[in-house]
Structure 1
């Protein structure tokens, strides 16, 4: 087989990234945009010794699980990987992905895994309460907003992502019109020039409150003069111009029903990180509110908050169920963010301790605890692998239940070792990556814990990602 040569192959499986897997004479091909059961014509693009990558040219015989993607840019956009797969097949794929990782990476036998049916959505569209759109120009020089194509920073224009809320389209239209009227340039990351980099949009699903935070490559929304004249008059003119522009933008955005908070984030670094560290409030309280169950949360531009509130309620409800609290327990919530799980647990626990490395998140968590009148929660700033040993060894704070919800890299081994030393009756592990989950479960199982119920929760329909929640009991 040579590069650009075409061939026919049947898709037998899918990899972690959602690419179809086919075999031809023992050689493995990865083909994006294909579905298990498809027979396709593909073109060889890149080849290694035992596997290669090919481009889908034509679906000759569609799989029974194939559907027509409703999004017109689903193939170009890097946001979704599974739109060509029916939702039932997506759920089956994700459930198998978790199970296979537990067996392959975690070395668990099939009869050791009590796998419950994955929690899917009744309507797997318009579920994201948060979206971050980069700005740029297309080939015709028009200002566009959208998402990056897979593995690139090429912007695919799309004002109405079907995973996001309908208000996104109206807000993007206002911002692009505002930029055009006032001569504000979108950011060019290659040249590190231009003002408007991204916009963050959030919506409270139960409150209807909207937040807009513009990310700008400048000190002000007007792009304060960094070079040239620097006398007081020049600065004053720049400030007046920025104030006028900010007022104009606020006036336009407030026409959108539910608009509650408008701000901008200063990010003048040459980086892939979207948000800057400084947020300047232009309108409203600087946050929006929303509920998960009966617990209210204040969400600021820098807050970590689950993007799918419908499924989050199911996920946290399951965590509470697995914790099996009677009201007398001391609970540790590691990697607690703004206290979302902590406050959920505090409804039924005697005492909850939350740990998070980001100071702003802990400020949010403490404010959210006060907002809900919960005085049985205490929060610590720091790394879980440092705070937990210190509080256990120096202050003898024990744990009846420990809940962990780590980032994709999973738990630090120091953190896992401390959990094993503390010997809580239960550990509830919430994971966004089943590969690192499998690794950590094996570590805990070897340390004296039995893996109980395992359940997936489809927080991200249309994509390859899924959350998973696991109950572990001490032997």
Structure 2
């Protein structure tokens, strides 16, 4: 993939830009193989490496997280340079075509509504970030991250024009972030449209995404992860499954099947509300509850557990809980093979049987790896 922004050195976020895609994918597999070698190279190891799942090398991102710079009359949507000036990246090639097409009308809306970009050094202005998410069917969720509610009346006044220009806009909100700190969004969300969830339809499952809820950046690869987990658990005929760090229920709802009991646990109450809505619509046997998966101290012996933790991994406490439980199967989806390796070392009785790399983030060193772990008899 060729990128004018990268070539001009105005954005270097995609660290592998310009590297042949096949070489990128091979490098990620080699990295995973190196870090997981202690579990795969031993004489007694019974591990199958499945072929990696490739992504489209461009136009794969379903999210645009754009810092707003410049002025209300000439806003930039992209990143900030070293001097905290706005760098416009509306033509970024890793964004989906739908996201790229929506950014110019959104920039024009910023001008019409006179939303003054936030000046970080001066600590002045209102509009900090524009967050845009696209569903598989092309619908959009738009979030304006604001310093205060001062501009809400102007946003509401001009919003009908934006909705007419971008009829694919399904959800629009204002997120309030009054603090001067390096975070993407605040805690208070103000809905500006009747719909408050974005329907994400993947295969035969519809997930409801609320503002602020986590969803994988690459929709096609996320669907591949869900399919793989379902395939493994169906093959093992797992009758009861727990999904820890379940988010909006992606894994749990995909593995739900007649005769299988599924339970999801997630610390985010809005995400659990979305998962329950999806389960009710689908009519599946899946229950969801708010809770800290990391702090679970006992597991009442489901057949299988799915874990999809943040980059820091499971941590010592949850690893110890899983290690001492009677759970026979763990499906571990990891975005950080280094923390995955630490967790595997803390769960010696749960041994890798199958491993597969999923290229969630082309043009970067990052990737997802899924491991099927099964309890050793010895």
The answer to whether TM tops 0.5 is yes
Equivalent residue for 1:285? 195
**Which of 120, 123, 135 is residue 192 of structure 1 equivalent to?**
123
Q: For 1:296-315, list aligned pairs within 5 A.
A: 296-315=206-225
Asked whether the 8 Å contact 1:326–1:349 carries over to 2, the reply is: no
**Which of 51, 58, 62 is residue 129 of structure 1 equivalent to?**
62
**Which of 98, 101, 107 is residue 167 of structure 1 equivalent to?**
98
- Structure-2 change in CA distance of 1:155 and 1:101 (3 Å): farther
Is 1:454 matched up with 2:364?
A: no
Q: Which moved more, 1:413-422 or 1:461-470?
A: 413-422
Aligned to 1:95, the other structure's residue is in SS state helix
Q: Which has the higher strand share?
A: 1
Equivalent residue for 2:294? 385
- Structure-2 change in CA distance of 1:322 and 1:209 (3 Å): same
Structure 2, unmatched stretches of 5+, are none
- Structure-2 change in CA distance of 1:110 and 1:126 (3 Å): farther
Q: Which moved more, 1:434-443 or 1:76-85?
A: 76-85
Aligned to 1:117, the other structure's residue is in SS state coil
TM-score by length of structure 2 reads 0.91
Aligned to 1:254, the other structure's residue is in SS state helix
Is 1:117 matched up with 2:48?
A: no
Is 1:176 matched up with 2:107?
A: yes
Equivalent residue for 2:140? 210
Is 1:273 matched up with 2:146?
A: no
Aligned to 1:147, the other structure's residue is in SS state strand
**Which of 215, 232, 241 is residue 331 of structure 1 equivalent to?**
241
- Structure-2 change in CA distance of 1:315 and 1:126 (3 Å): same
Asked whether the 8 Å contact 1:114–1:454 carries over to 2, the reply is: yes
Asked whether the 8 Å contact 1:135–1:186 carries over to 2, the reply is: yes
1-structure distance, mates of 2:117, 2:374: 53
Equivalent residue for 1:412? 315
2-structure distance, mates of 1:293, 1:332: 21
Asked whether the 8 Å contact 2:112–2:158 carries over to 1, the reply is: no
2-structure distance, mates of 1:163, 1:172: 14
Aligned to 1:428, the other structure's residue is in SS state strand
Asked whether the 8 Å contact 2:105–2:165 carries over to 1, the reply is: no
Equivalent residue for 2:29? 95
- Structure-2 change in CA distance of 1:152 and 1:307 (3 Å): farther
Asked whether the 8 Å contact 1:432–1:468 carries over to 2, the reply is: yes
Equivalent residue for 2:375? 474
1-structure distance, mates of 2:263, 2:341: 25
- Structure-2 change in CA distance of 1:274 and 1:297 (3 Å): same
Give aligned pairs, total. 371
Higher-Rg structure is 1
